[in-house]
Amino acid sequence: MRRPAVIALTALLSGPALAQSATVTVQVTGVADGQGAVSVGLCPTALEEKACTLGQSRAAQGAAMRFAFRNVPPGAYAVAVYQDVNGNGRLDRNALGLPTEPYGFSNDVGRIGPPTFSGARVPVPASGATIPVRLARFGQ
């Protein structure tokens, strides 16, 4: 018969207390200082808004900003960023559906054609990762 202390220790060691987690830092450059807010989405499965389950948004300050996501399970993620220059709460688009406000993705995908999750995906080990994203307007 096992003693209660051994059972409790076994449960503790096999539970989420030892689950690995990482800190993902997103380094955003190309920010238009003082214009609206910068929104960052960390996307584990796709680049669609509903799939970017971790997000942060802050007022645009300086030409570069850092966003830290803590307790992120190791894996592969894509990052999507946009700057809401006019403050209306969304990424504005023209009649063709192309962004009219600064945006960017990890691995700098989406500058020539539509971004793909596989192209933007970046590995995140348990030790964490810093992912650079450059904001620019379409065609820049």
pLDDT (tens digit per residue) in 40-67 = 999 999 999 899 999 999 999 999 999 9
* 4 or 108: which leads in pLDDT: 108
Higher-scoring residue by pLDDT: 113, 81: 81
Percent of the chain with pLDDT over 90: 76
8 occurs within a structural domain: no
| Domain contains 10 | no
Cβ–Cβ contacts within 10 Å for residue 34, how many?
9
The fraction of the chain above a pLDDT of 70, given in percent, is 85
How many angstroms separate the CA atoms of 48 and 62, rounded?
A: 28
Per-residue pLDDT, averaged over 101-112, amounts to 94
In a domain, 88, yes or no: yes
Domain count, the chain: 1
- Give which of 105, 131, 132 is closest to 119, Cα–Cα: 105
Q: Which domain holds residue 60?
A: 20-134
Confidence check: pLDDT of 117 > 80: yes
Query: Would 62 be classed as within a structural domain?
Result: yes
pLDDT at 137 over 90: no
Mean pLDDT to the nearest integer, 102-116: 93
Residue listed under structure tokens 């990762």: 129
pLDDT mean over 102-122: 94
* Separation CA 49–CA 39 (nearest Å): 12
104 touches 136 (CB < 8 A): yes
pLDDT band at 78, cuts 50/70/90?
very high
Q: Is residue 103 part of a domain?
A: yes
pLDDT at 83 over 70: yes
- Checking if the pLDDT of 88 tops 60, the result is yes
Tell me the average pLDDT of the chain.
88
Query: Does residue 96 sit within a domain?
Result: yes
Q: Which two tokens stand for residue 62?
A: 């300086």
* Cα–Cα distance, 6 to 12 (Å, whole number): 10
Report the predicted TM-score, pTM, of the whole model to 2 decimal places.
0.83
In a domain, 25, yes or no: yes
Q: Which CATH number do you get for residue 57?
A: 2.60.40
Two structure tokens written together for 37 = 């807010």
Q: C-alpha distances in angstroms, 45 versus 6, 32, 88, 100, 131?
A: 39, 29, 27, 26, 17
* Closest C-alpha to 134, from 24, 26, 4, 11: 26
C-alpha dihedral over 87, 114, 75, 26, to 10 degrees?
-40
